[in-house]
Structure 1
Amino acid sequence: MTDLLPDSGEDMLHDELELLDPLGDAEEGVVKNRAKVGSARPSSLLYTYGPGAIMDLPNFSIMPAGLSDWELIWKRRDHVPTILEPRLLNVVRLHLGPQVDALRPFPWQPKRTGMSNEGADLGIPARVFPQWFRCTGCDYLGPLSRFSYTNTHPFRPDLAQFAHKNCPGRGGKSNKKSGSPAVPAQHLLTCTNGHLDEFPYSLWVHRGSKCFKAELPDLKMRDANVGKSVGSIIACASCGKTRGMAEAQGSVGREKLPQQCRGRHPHLNAFDSACDARPALIMMGASNLWFASTQSIIVMPRTEAEEKEALADQLRVELGVEQVEKFGDQIEVIKALATANKIDLDGLTDSDIAAAVADVLAPAESAEEWEKKRADWDPVELLVPEWRYLQKPTLFPQQQHPSGLMVTEMQRNDDLHPMISRVVAVNKMKKVNAVLGFTRLDEMDRVNDLASRLVKLTRNGKPTWVPATEDRGEGIFLQLDLDAVARWERTIKSSSLWESHRAAHELNFRRRFSETAKKVEPDDRLPLPRYWLLHTLSHVLIREMAMSSGYGSASLTERIYGWDSSPQREAAAGLLICTTASDSDGTLGGLVALSEPKRLHGLVVSALRRASRCSSDPVCAMRTPSAAEDFLHGAACHCCSFASETSCEKANRFLDRRFMLNLPTTMGESVPGFFGGVDAL
């Protein structure tokens, strides 16, 4: 678990109020409160609660700070650990710039004993956000500085809370001695450029003006679930004006909100100079408040070129460019410095080291070249090396490789469905994940779709490192018959069902909040029919494997290799179902054991037979997007095919059981399932 530490606050909380955060160090001489307020698993900090997201704690909420604030934590250590993986680091550099020189784990250190203080000074800095609170005792609504903060128990971070001292209470039931607990106000403003701001409650209740009776009026937030006033009511205690928050909802309500976004980034404690997007109302717990933009790879044995590239990365991080430049022509000195910094040089010649030095000192490519490479980049490029490696069993190591990968070509059962051509057991594997940034309101299909929408992680927008995690686990790789997939795909592309899915995808693309859809052709982002097939098969296998492997379905994840041939790469049709954990050296072997020929045959037959029926049939089996709908799935639902968010790489989109099995359809034509009818299984 990684600890979360409250850090510096905001220098400006509201248009009409300039307030100082008592937890911050904006005032000279104020001691910063760094007591632990919570903890989170590395995977949740990567995909759910990273910098810029809002994390709910028992009594208030926080926002992990940007990477600039993390540097203060890392400075408490003489040596900053890094994760060495050149293939992923190159992708990060492609999107964030050549100045990125490292992947770093989260600032956390394991404890040898439960009561030891090891790593107590490490943690992720976070800011209290939202910084407007509502008193649960008297409904008072005000900024953070009007509430008292307590966080004194070193082993009970859940007791940290804000309280309204001298609370008058309701109906004479005052709580002036200890105060009443305060909770965050739920309403926020955001825009498609990723900015996030407090809701201007005072301006809202006074309809854009100031209170005529008080310069800083006290506000109340009351629940009103009677009649048409659904939601909260904001009331001014000074002038008596009231206004419901329901008015701010929807497209009509958006017209009543401020027309100009202030460009605020709470995680950076900064404002952008200008923002041309209009703000929209969003609730604190909304699912579209934060979308992580991440990239991941499976670590494989490195080629000779990748080994040299890894050495260059180590020299760049451990020695620094200035030191490498100073002693670059003195290989013996470079070797001595590398050895002193624990860089492994075994098996490397002087020429290899000289090549790595030259790589470090090579001039950066021009901005035009970098922009073009980023625009042309396809996420499939990360998967192609993995697919190619899995196609060459002769390269598989006979025992665990230093990369952490151990795979075994399994004997194919004669009874296994002929459309499944190969089975590979991934006995051990390591997966490295890196975060590039995040978006709000709408998730980007590709990180390079519109670079300006990717919210920056540092104040200058040019990080020199990004957070990353290392996950270890196991898995099973299944490959379909490539020729059969190509023939089947040509048939599907000419069907009316596929045309309906294509039209629904285009409609969904045009209805999105972001500006991305205006820059991209929707058909370029529609996965091929083979992807729908592999994706659906992966989901039904995950549901079936969860009952036999000893892992919950939420612990199993998918990795789909589904693309057609092009001048840059050969066609692929395969899937990897795996389980990984960032805080473990491996898993128990329950998943890879299912790759045994007899067990796998029975599992595949059972999964396909279950997928042929759904408790929502015939509605589910015949579901086809129509003109007024834009859902991105066909014959699939929670009863038969959907998987948890932690398992699916496409958020349960692009699923249709009709591509996998022969099922009834309302389109007036039969769509051939790749595996045929259930009776033939």
Structure 2
Amino acid sequence: MTPPRERRRRGADGLPAAPRFDLPRRGSVRRAQMITTYGVGSLVAVDNESFIVSGIDKAHHSWQLDEAPIIHEHRLARVLGVRHFRLPPASDDGSKDGVRVRRFPLWHSCPQCRSLQHVKGFNPPPGKNICTKCDDEPLVPSRFVVACEDGHLDDFPYWKWLHRGNREEGATGHCGGQMSLAFSGRSASLRSIVVSCTCGVPAVSMEGAFRRSALGDLKVRCEGKRPWLEGAPAEFCSKSPRTLQRGSSAVWQPVLKSALSIPPWSDGLADKLAEHWEDLRGYSSRMEIEIYLKGAFRGDDSVSVDAVMDLLAAEQEEDPTPEGGADVGAANRHQALRRQEYEQLSAGNALRDKGREEQFVCEPPVSDISVLSPYGVDRTMLVKRLREVRALKAFTRIADPETSSEGHEAALSLSPTDWLPAMEVHGEGVFVRLDEHRLDNWAESVAVAARVERMRANHDRLLRERATDPAEVPPSPATPRMVLLHTLAHALINEWSLEAGYPAGALRERLYTDDTMAGFLVYTATSDSAGSLGGVVAQGEPTRLAKALHSALQRATWCSADPLCIETRSSGAGGTNLAACHACAMLPETSCEYNNILLDRALLIGTPDDRQVGFFAHVLE
């Protein structure tokens, strides 16, 4: 994040345009970063200052529609329980009001007088962060914060850390001294950061502050604070707080949910009906719907009764929770979304049958796909046009979203809202589906099942350790089919990044794996020059795809970390990988749905001792 350059805001009449709210501007980030990097609850560094992004409780007042337009994605909105999504406001020369932030952490130090205290103790003037005793020396925010796995965040307890074991039994209150923070400069370790106090207690370094039990040993408990939510009361929390670096990725990780726009929701009609769904669901007859549409869309012939009735019927059919039935759970609702996408990707949706507004165009290749038969590819589809909406549902701290239960998720607002921040990506991709019969025969191998069971057991253990409620631990998705497709998608993305000129970070995987699905989609994940230019679709032509698959498998047979990589019995976070490392199978984490876990290239090409473990071993022979 960089501070904005000096500029004058101008309105439509050419005169300077004042912001709607007279608040100081501190910096700017890209819209996509407000979903993936600097979302609600994250810490943002601007020059010598640090801020936390505020919640969305009052965002509907400051996010103007011309700068933060509404995004509609009917299927995803129903699953997440909201009406629509909002694109975060832009930050350019014509922008007015942006995203609200609050100063955090509140403990600062002065590099000149070395004083360490709450920022109010320095008595800075409004809007500035300086030490008034040291000729306006800029203050330095605390490098350390404390957080817990339930998402709470607080300042590091410097006073308790320094005065541990140096107080008389039964003494209460602070010592009344002035703390200071000094850097010895002897090394770059935490031992060089020394905290002292004028009350005379021995100085203490920050060494050991990052131990898991460091704060618990001092009887420091989580205060349940949520500084990103204005006026939020402290919650009771039984979790042990952990010390983190202010800029660590463990301080904030987004919980993103996404969906592709697929028929019948991809032609733009559903967007026109966005404000009328609640009324339309109340009608059961064609005549009632026709009368309503004539009143709501007077003079607009593009909204036909038949099309609306088809959408209502599709919504009823797609609803994973039948009327009068029990809620099937968040995981099943999202899996239902994937299953609908899988069916549409397999069936296709030709451009010649649709209009210009169609956001999903998926066609089979013109040439014969029999060249892909040795690789077990049952179908390949060229997705020439797609739209994906990614919504920020919540966020986590310390624990990864993919390895935790939903009990760890911290809310974006103090009270429920009918919208969530989101972004949309338009691009292209290639869908590959493998032969399920051949997959099932291969998965029956004892050696294959043993390798996957090892990963699944480690992943299950990791989930149990990080679960809030042991009774609601989500099962690991690791199966032979899932691990194979996941690793194959990584191998193909790496191959295209080398041969087709696409950076690996510009491509993304989307897996479709369960007992009824066996495919994956590789598509562009950016809207810049690496976006929808036809290059990815060109890679999906059968002859070219066969060459790419063969080359990717050949590359997978060797890793610079071999033989350690191919022979390892456990790797990755918590032992959730086998033969996979950054030199062979891993991708930038923005490209992977599972944060680079549940990977094993041995399932592609086999091991030195047993080639038949590899699904594609016969091709390489």
TM-score normalized with structure 2 length? 0.83
The aligned residue for residue 71 of structure 1 is 60
What secondary structure sits across from 1:61 in the alignment? strand
Q: Hey, what does 2:133 align to over in structure 1?
A: 166
Matched, 1:536 2:480: no
Per the alignment, residue 29 of structure 2 pairs with 40
Runs of 5+ consecutive residues of structure 2 not aligned to the other structure = 5-19, 316-320
Q: Which amino acid aligns with 2:84?
A: A
483-492 or 217-226, larger mean C-alpha shift: 217-226
Counterpart residue identity of residue 387, structure 2: K
Asked if 1:406 corresponds to 2:351, the answer is no
Aligned position for 2:87: 105
1:226 to partner: Cα distance: 5.3
Q: Over aligned residue pairs, what C-alpha RMSD do you find? A: 4.1
Deviation at residue 600 of structure 1 after TM alignment: 2.2
Q: 1:43 touches 1:582 (CA, 8 Å); kept in 2?
A: no
Question: Structure 2 CA distance, aligned partners of 1:446 and 1:615?
Answer: 28
What residue in structure 2 maps to residue 85 of structure 1?
Answer: 73
- Is 1:551–2:502 an aligned residue pair? yes
Q: Give 3-state SS (helix, strand or coil) of 1:577's partner.
A: strand
- Equivalent position of 2:450 in the other structure: 496
- The corresponding residue for 2:546 is 601
SS state of the match for residue 565, structure 2?
Answer: coil
Partner of 2:555: 610
**CA shift at 1:369, angstroms?**
6.4
| Structure 1: distance between partners of 2:204 and 2:40 | 33
Does the 8 Å contact 1:164/1:180 carry over to 2? yes
1:202 aligned residue (154, 159, 167):
159
Q: What amino acid maps onto 1:402 in structure 2?
A: E
Structure 1 residue 487 displacement after superposition: 1.0
The residue that corresponds to 1:233 in the other structure is 194
Number of aligned pairs? 589
CA distance in 1 between partners of 2:574 and 2:209 (Å): 26
Q: Output one character per residue of 1:444-489: Cα deviation in whole Å (capped at 9) or x when no partner.
A: 4488x44x432121112x1121111111111111111121111111
Cα deviation, residue 41, structure 1: 2.3
Per-residue deviation, residues 198-218 of structure 1 (Å, max 9, x unmatched): 112223322386999987543
Q: How far off its partner does 1:630 sit?
A: 3.2
C-alpha change, 1:106 and 1:376, in structure 2 (3 Å) is: closer
- Measured in 2, the distance between the counterparts of 1:613 and 1:355 equals 50
- Equivalence for 1:653: 597
- CA distance in structure 2 between the partners assigned to 1:642 and 1:163 by the alignment: 44
Deviations 1:579-603 (A, max 9, x none): 1335789522222222233322222
Amino acid at match of 1:459: L
Which of 361, 373, 378 aligns to 2:328? It is 373
Contact conserved, 1:580 with 1:587, CA < 8 A, in 2? no
CA contact (8 A) 2:49 2:129 kept: yes
The yes-or-no answer on 1:129 pairing with 2:104 is yes
2:329 partner SS: helix
CA distance in 1, matches of 2:554, 2:35: 36
Code of the residue aligned with 2:585 in structure 1: it is S
Partner Cα separation in structure 2 for residue 54 and residue 661 of structure 1: 43
Indicate the percent of aligned positions where both proteins have the same amino acid: 27
1:549-580 deviations in Å (ceiling 9; x for gaps): 3321111110111111xxxxxx2111111113
Question: Does the CA-based 8 Å contact 2:51-2:104 persist in structure 1?
Answer: yes
Please give the residue correspondences for 1:531-680 in structure 2 after superposition, counting only pairs within 5 Å. Answer: 531-564=482-515, 571-582=516-527, 587-625=532-570, 630-665=574-609, 671-677=612-618, 679-680=620-621
Deviations 1:10-39 (A, max 9, x none): xxxxxxxxxxxxxxxxxxxxx986233222
Q: Deviations over 1:145-178 (max 9, x none)?
A: 3264798xxxxxxxxx7333332xxxxxxxx2xx
Q: Secondary structure at the match of 1:621?
A: helix
Task: Indicate the residue corresponding to 2:471 in structure 1.
Answer: 519
Bigger CA drift: 240-249 or 603-612?
240-249
Structure 1 residues 126 and 589, CA gap change in structure 2 (3 angstroms): same
Match of 2:410 among 455, 460, 479: 455
Aligned-pair CA distance for 1:334: 7.2
| Cα distance, 1:442 vs structure 2 | 1.4
SS for the counterpart of 2:238 is: coil
Residue 575 of structure 2: SS of its match in structure 1? coil
Task: Using the TM superposition, give the Cα deviation of residue 436 of structure 1 relative to its aligned residue in structure 2, in angstroms.
Answer: 1.1
Give 3-state SS (helix, strand or coil) of 1:246's partner: coil
| Conserved 8 A contact 2:293-2:305 | no
Contact 2:268 2:357 in 1 (8 A): no
SS across alignment from 2:250: coil
* Displacement after TM superposition at 1:83 (Å): 1.3
How much has 1:677 moved relative to structure 2?
A: 4.8
Superposition pairs of residues 8-23 of structure 1, within 5 angstroms: none
Aligned to 1:245: 206
1:77 CA drift (Å): 5.2
- Larger deviation: 306-315 or 270-279? 306-315
Residue aligning to 1:266: 227
- Distance across 1 between alignment mates of 2:148 and 2:517: 38
Judged with a 3 Å threshold, the aligned counterparts in structure 2 of structure 1 residues 586 and 500 are, in CA distance, closer, same or farther, namely: closer
Q: Is the 8 A contact 1:557 1:579 kept in 2?
A: yes
Give unmatched runs, 5+ long, in structure 1.
5-30, 94-99, 112-116, 152-160, 168-175, 360-364, 565-570
Shift of 1:615: 0.8
**Deviation, structure 1 residue 106:** 1.1
CA 1:509/1:334 → structure 2, altered by over 3 Å: closer, same or farther? closer
Determine if contact 2:448/2:613 at 8 Å carries over to the other structure. no
C-alpha distance in structure 2 between counterparts of 1:216 and 1:484, whole Å = 74
Output the CA distance in 1 between the equivalents of 2:398 and 2:573: 20
The aligned counterpart of 2:258 is 296
Instruction: Verify: 1:190 aligned to 2:147, yes or no.
Output: yes
Separation in 2, partners of 1:446, 1:501: 13
Cross-structure match for 1:26 = none
Partner of 2:15: none
Q: Look up the match of 1:275.
A: 237
Q: Distance between the aligned counterparts of 1:494 and 1:355, measured in 2?
A: 44
Task: Tell me whether 81-90 or 598-607 shows the greater mean CA deviation.
Answer: 598-607
Other-structure match for 2:178: 218
- Is the 8 Å Cα contact of residues 2 and 124 (structure 1) preserved in structure 2? no
